[in-house]
Structure 1
Amino acid sequence: MKPEIAAKLLALNAQFYQTFGLAFAATRQRLQPGILRVLPRLPLTAQWLDLGCAHGEVARWLAQHQFQGRYLGLDFSPALLAEAQAWADHLPPALATRFTFRQADLGHPDWVTALDDARFEVALAFAVLHHIPGRVNRERLLHLVRAHLEPGATLVLSVWQFQHSPRLLARRQPWARIGIDEADLEPGDTLLDWRHALPDQSEKVGLRYVHQFSREELDALAVSSGFRVEETFESDGEGGRLGLYQVWRAV
């Protein structure tokens, strides 16, 4: 993918979450079943990295389950991070010190400076990779993640399987709507709209870039980034198939 196309798609998603971030988060005030399936298996004394932490739902779960490790949550949305930090500020001091939230744009290589050379034993990337345009860019992101993981560390990720929902498929939009030639994109790249209306207000529509992954594509991405796939399963939403999850081991 040409750098200028990737940049345009990243800017599109940035604009979406700046405009609709809090409203979008309000529709996701609980952890998805697939996330809840995995979290109890992970060590609560480890160093955790949560990529795309949003308003801190994973951190809240950890705080409720005797978390004894250290947690770093990264997100590019100041509004969502402010919400996460406001929650952390009301924790007992001994617990609050275990949680840190920082702003970082995972679509740009300099996001890694937010890690301060820390190393982690657990990394999470829920609903993140499908918003990173271009195979090369996704590989670069994962190589940087791998460089900050201990050998044998666990990375758990999920991607959106909107193709399993007729309702979501109906929200696909033509690329001409934002002035992009489909020939400049990669297979699976999709433009979706999202609609939101407050009481007594007219509906507002936003557009997002989403990449549709196959299992084979995720498997190959793991290998090329220094991981081994240990588990794959579907969960969440309509029919329990809107999320594709994988558990990777750093090798």
Structure 2
Amino acid sequence: MLETIKEDDSVLDLGCGNGHFLHEIQKRGHKAALLGVDFSLPLLRDAESSGGVEFREIQLSKLSEYSNQLLITDNWSLITCFATLHHIPSHEIRLDILKTVKNLLSKDGKFILSNWQFLSSDKLKSRIQDWEKVGLSKDDVDEDDYLLDWRSGGEGLRYAHHFSSEELFTLANQVDMRVEAEFLSDGENGKLGLYQIWR
């Protein structure tokens, strides 16, 4: 994927975490703007320690409120959102984020996103928990919303929405974009990440 990014493409990474993706682009002699946004201050501090790329603390669920702050360049050539959108609760909020992405992209810009396909793993399916653990019922959440136990760095619970390919095609259409390509990657079975490229 890195090979497809031109040195003059401006790149906005939503849910950038520790900034690894943007730093990899930078190492290739990138010349255009690189901006990563995330809500996690500890991860952003790790990202900034490498220098050379700009990072900002932003709640992705309120992306539309911050859109003017993200235009540090003309509209973006590429916006990425890897393994992040599925952790945003509410169809309406996800749709608002995607509308903002569309508005932030340049005319010929593209949006690359990946979403967790945890239902394709028996191991991950076994981690699905009852909503009652957090005082909710299935009626309180959207269809295909799940609660999973999380064991990385301690024990906890994590919200995740399971996107089907069809749902993502519908969302792209709702924000006046089209899906240009789709593929599965990541994980032991190579099927834990559903990637799409939108224009």
Q: What TM bracket, shorter-length normalisation?
A: over 0.9
Contact 1:102/1:114 (<8 A) preserved: no
Aligned length, in residue pairs:
197
* 1:114 maps to which of 52, 63, 69: 69
| 1:1-251 matches, cutoff 5 A | 38-88=1-51, 96=52, 99-108=53-62, 109-116=64-71, 118=73, 119-196=75-152, 204-249=154-199
- Counterpart secondary structure, 1:238: coil
How well do the aligned residues superpose, as a CA RMSD in angstroms? 1.4
Tell me the TM-score normalised to structure 2 length.
0.94
Larger radius of gyration: 1
- State the identity %: 39
Task: After TM superposition, give the deviation of residue 123 of structure 1 in Å.
Answer: 0.5
Cα distance 1:117–1:71, how it changes in 2: closer, same or farther (>3 A)?
Answer: closer
Closer, same or farther: CA 231–116 of 1 in aligned 2, 3 Å: closer
Match of 1:91 in 2: none
Q: SS state of the match for residue 240, structure 1? A: coil
Verify the 8 A CA contact 1:56 1:73 in the aligned structure 2: yes
Task: Tell me the amino acid that sits aligned with residue 160 of structure 2.
Answer: V
SS at match of 2:49: helix
Query: What is the rounded CA distance, in whole Å, between the counterparts of 1:231 and 1:148 in structure 2?
Result: 20
Relative contact order (alpha carbons < 8 A, sep ≥ 6): 1 or 2 greater? 1
What residue ranges of structure 2 are gaps of 5+ in the alignment?
none
1:165–1:238 CA contact under 8 A, matched in 2: no
- Tell me which amino acid in the other structure corresponds to 1:104: I
Return the letter of the residue paired with 1:41.
T
In 1, Cα distance between equivalents of 2:26 and 2:12: 15
Question: Gapped runs of 5+ residues in structure 1?
Answer: 1-37, 89-95, 198-203
Report the CA distance between 1:63 and its aligned residue: 2.1
Question: Quick one: which amino acid aligns to residue 110 of structure 1?
Answer: E
